[in-house]
Amino acid sequence: MSTMSDRTVLLLSGPNLNLLGEREPDIYGSATLDDHLAGATAAATARGLTLEHVQSNHEGELVDAIHDARGRCAGIVVNPGAFTHYAWAIHDALAAFDGPIVELHLSNPAAREPWRHTSVVAPVAAGTIAGFGAAGYRMAVEAVADLLDR
């Protein structure tokens, strides 16, 4: 029998994602973060999951959210934004989390500027969903659900 805690997924949104819908719509689309959250929440609900969301432009706040999820949340979906490429504190916090982790990007970092090609999150994630725009949020939640159902 599942308890609520082992069906809760934390969705983390990194820096500047609060500007989705306004910031570089040619790259990130016109959907807002709230639009993406609505899709992710619907996908979670359909799979019997509860979704929690934390967005921060501050690395330490995301690290604190990951620490708070330990022993409380079943999985994490993380769109680290620019922290993807250098935030070793986020890497280390995720490495100390016991459940499945899925890295998420609206765009495809591998098809963009060379500095975006390295992810310090990827080594501690079960997988990465990138380049599918808004559909990526649904896909990431589905991936965590599939990993939890194994």
Annotated catalytic residue, options 36, 91, 105, 137: 105
Q: Which two tokens stand for residue 56?
A: 């921060």
Active site residue 36: no
* Of 28, 36, 91, 137, catalytic: 28
Q: Could you tell me if 72 and 104 are in contact, meaning their C-beta atoms sit under 8 angstroms apart?
A: no
The answer to whether residue 85 is catalytic is: no
Q: CA separation (Å) from 132 to 52, 106, 148?
A: 22, 6, 22
Question: Quick one: how far is CA 14 from the chain centroid?
Answer: 9
Per-residue b or e along 107-139, where b marks 16 or more CB atoms closer than 10 Å to that residue's CB? bebeeeeeebeebbbeebbeebbbebbbebbbb
Tokens found for residue 1: 């029998």
Tokens at 68, concatenated: 């708070």
Give catalytic residue positions.
28, 105
